[in-house]
Amino acid sequence: MIKGLDIFDMDHTLIRHSSARHFAMLGIRMRVFPLRLLTLIPLYYFFYRFGNMKSDYFNKRFRFLKGIPSEDLKSMAAMAFYKRMKKDIYPDATALIQELQSQGRKVVIATSAPYLVVQPLADYLNITEILATRLEFKQGLSTGRILGAPLFKLEKKREVLHYIEQLGLRPEDCSFYSDSIHDLPLLKAVGNPIIVNPDLRLRLAARRRGWQIVRFS
């Protein structure tokens, strides 16, 4: 029996930086991804943290993966985790997740990052459920597109609420941890929104609503 559900965003919530950045930088060093990504990474970060990023941007950002075998991408994701992302995990986040799991609570990661990039982190934290953006593959090769809609803003809210319903739980009995203003729709939908190392816009929104703000280090 599930004693409670705790949902965590990933980038800047469980880890200090962007998982996609770790993955992309490794691919560039391995000469699998084009060098032009070096100019796109800062632009993506700016629009994500400070701009009004639109969901259709996600289809554009994965075009450089076209033609790469799925097994190669999974291997690269594992390598990116152990070489770069593992040391980027907030120790406070790890301790909290272990405490929640010891209480019999179910912990889930919900993120707009690609599922295969999230998988190594989830395995490391003993998290068995991942809600993430799925890449499209045909005959074992990446098409450079995503399956369905990216788990972002309203789509993330919709997917998580559907998952909560499938578990037979109510949103008001669930917690969601996030740093980003883009997660405001889902934060407003759960009973226990917890703001972690927030960006400026989310910090202001959280203070207006009296939400709990915590600092992971």
CA distance 157 to 186: 5
| Token code pair at residue 15 | 């880890």
**Number of structural domains, the chain?**
1
User: In degrees rounded to 5, what are phi and psi of residue 191?
Assistant: -80, -25
Residue 15 CA, distance from chain mean position: 10
pTM, rounded to two decimals = 0.91
Which pLDDT score, from 0 to 100, does residue 61 have?
67
Q: Give, rounded to a whole angstrom, the gap between the first and last alpha carbons of the chain.
A: 32
Q: How far apart are CA 180 and CA 207, in angstroms?
A: 14
Convert 126-155 to b/e letters by CB count within 10 Å (16 or more is b).
Answer: ebeebbbbebbbeeebbbbbbeebbbbbeb
In the chain the beta strands, taken as DSSP E runs, fall at 5-8, 106-114, 129-138, 141-147, 174-178, 192-196, 212-214
Dihedral Cα 183, 188, 189, 192, nearest 10 deg: 100
Across 47-61, b (16+ Cβ under 10 Å) vs e yields ebbeeebebeebeeb
The pLDDT tens digits of the residues spanning 136-170 come to 999 999 999 999 889 999 999 999 999 999 999 99
Give per-residue pLDDT as tens, 197-207. 998 999 999 99
Q: State both tokens at 38.
A: 């070096």
Residue 182 has what DSSP assignment? Answer: G
| pLDDT tens, position by position, 79-125 | 999 999 999 999 999 999 999 999 999 999 999 999 999 999 999 99
Look up the domain containing 49 and give its range: 5-214
DSSP at 167: T
Provide the token pair at 166: 């499938």
Q: Domain containing 125 — which CATH number?
A: 3.40.50.1000
